[in-house]
Structure 1
Amino acid sequence: MKKTSILLFLLLVAAGVSAQKMTVQEGDFKFLKDAKAVNVVFRYDDMKLLKENKTEQQYKEERTAELNAKNAGTGDTWAKKWDGAKESIWEPNFMDLLAKTVTAKKGTVFGQGRKDAPYTLTVDATWLYPGWDAGVMKQPAKVSTLLTFTETGNPSKVLLKIKSENAPGDQWGSNFSNESRIGEGFEKTAKTLGNRIVKEAY
């Protein structure tokens, strides 16, 4: 019995491990040192999902059909929840962690719709893995993004480009919501980004 418990614990730990990578592809953080505000834009145009690299439309259609086949109407309800998750979970989670890691420590304010800000951060969601939770066993979500800082008045002027891969979306206890797990991945992305900004820009 004891060996079984240890095995289950090790499996749970292994399932929760996700190697996040954040690599600077172009530029550096120095321009942010004197920035008072940064505009933030989110994009999902080229987002792929799962190991099969499905388009968002493919994923939604298949998931909706799967859930409706099990219980009529649940798939349609889920599709609405999925569409609303971007503005109700993913983006607020990301913004909240930037506020906690950068604004609270250095005063630079990150906000959506801040066209008055000299710089703009574009968060391109490139790949998502929703993960799963079966109670005893679970697999965290994974979120990959391309984070690009440009001049707001001259979007072609790239100041910093970062590739963030496999930010884990996991929580203590059970979490049966794909959308919520993905939101944790966006939160982890912002936390790692924010900590690097504080460390490397100031």
Structure 2
Amino acid sequence: MKKLIIACFLISGAMFSQDMDVVQGKFDFLKDQKEVNVEFDYSNFTMMKENKSEAQYIQEHKADLDKKAKGNGNIWEKKWAVAKDQIWSPKFLEIANIVLTKEKKDLNFQEGLKTPYTLIVKAVWIYPGWDAGIMKQPAKVTTNLKFVETANKSNVLLEITSEEAPGDQWGSNFSNESRIGEGFAKTAKSMAKLIAKKAYK
């Protein structure tokens, strides 16, 4: 029975898929680039099925944790505060560069570069998922990926939407922040594969 339950959840987990669409623009400008600057925008994303603000999510999740053990809400909030810079953004950059290297493409994404083009990764919607041991649900991350001219960011050369990229790992992962990071990793993987396919014709 336990094996059946696990199998069902593995199957249901596999059904979560990412939808990546090109909104506008072409990939050809990337072909001759060695490096692209990256900026991450976490300023205005919503969370959960109810589209809560990040502030509301933090307040409610802190309260839930404090009910289980006083003080745990503040401990978690500190982890959440650094997750963007220490987990989500690094995961995106790491996986994008790994995929492009495996695809033998000489293109690298990094923050803080002075390059002709900048990729703006804007978080739109995040669902942290959950893990209860035998049963779990992956995180989901929706982003807008906009390649712009660094000197004139209103000039958009390519825009891609990534809907509900799944974030999960083999085994148990009880950290909301880590699961969300895997969603950003999946986003980067899909984006890099798309670039490798479309930009180097």
TM-score by length of 1: 0.95
Name which of structure 1's ranges 65-74 and 134-143 shifts more when overlaid on structure 2: 65-74
Which residue does the alignment assign to 2:87? 89
Residues 139-188 of structure 1 show CA distances to partners (whole Å, capped at 9, x for unaligned) of: 00000000000000110100000000010001110000000000000000
Which residue does the alignment assign to 2:182? 184
Structure 2 portions without partners, runs of 5+? none
Which residue does the alignment assign to 1:42? 40
Contact residue 48 and residue 128 of structure 2 kept, 8 A: yes
Which residue does the alignment assign to 1:15? 13
- The CA deviation at 1:11 is 2.9
Which residue does the alignment assign to 1:170? 168
Contact residue 60 and residue 79 of structure 1 kept, 8 A: yes
* Fraction of identical pairs, as percent: 54
Which residue does the alignment assign to 1:193? 191
Contact residue 9 and residue 136 of structure 2 kept, 8 A: no
Contact residue 16 and residue 170 of structure 1 kept, 8 A: no
Superposed, 1:129-144 pairs within 5 Å as 129-144=127-142
- The CA deviation at 1:16 is 4.4
Contact residue 171 and residue 181 of structure 1 kept, 8 A: yes
RMSD: 1.2
- The CA deviation at 1:64 is 0.7
- The CA deviation at 1:77 is 0.5
- The CA deviation at 1:7 is 4.3
Name which of structure 1's ranges 95-104 and 82-91 shifts more when overlaid on structure 2: 95-104
CA distance in 1, matches of 2:95, 2:9: 29
- Structure 1 residues 109 and 12, CA, compared in 2 at 3 Å: closer, same or farther? closer
- The CA deviation at 1:28 is 1.2
Contact residue 38 and residue 110 of structure 1 kept, 8 A: yes
CA distance in 2, matches of 1:108, 1:16: 30
Which residue does the alignment assign to 1:108? 107
Structure 1 portions without partners, runs of 5+? none
Residues 71-101 of structure 1 show CA distances to partners (whole Å, capped at 9, x for unaligned) of: 1110000001001101111111000011112
Instruction: List structure 1 runs of 4+ shifted beyond 6 angstroms.
Output: none
Which residue does the alignment assign to 1:125? 123
TM-score by length of 2: 0.95
CA distance in 1, matches of 2:96, 2:50: 31
- One-letter identity of the residue aligned with 1:95: L
CA distance in 2, matches of 1:155, 1:174: 41
Superposed, 1:143-162 pairs within 5 Å as 143-162=141-160
- The CA deviation at 1:103 is 4.6
- The CA deviation at 1:65 is 1.2
Contact residue 149 and residue 158 of structure 1 kept, 8 A: yes
SS in 1 for 2:40: strand
- Structure 1 residues 103 and 9, CA, compared in 2 at 3 Å: closer, same or farther? closer
Contact residue 16 and residue 139 of structure 1 kept, 8 A: no
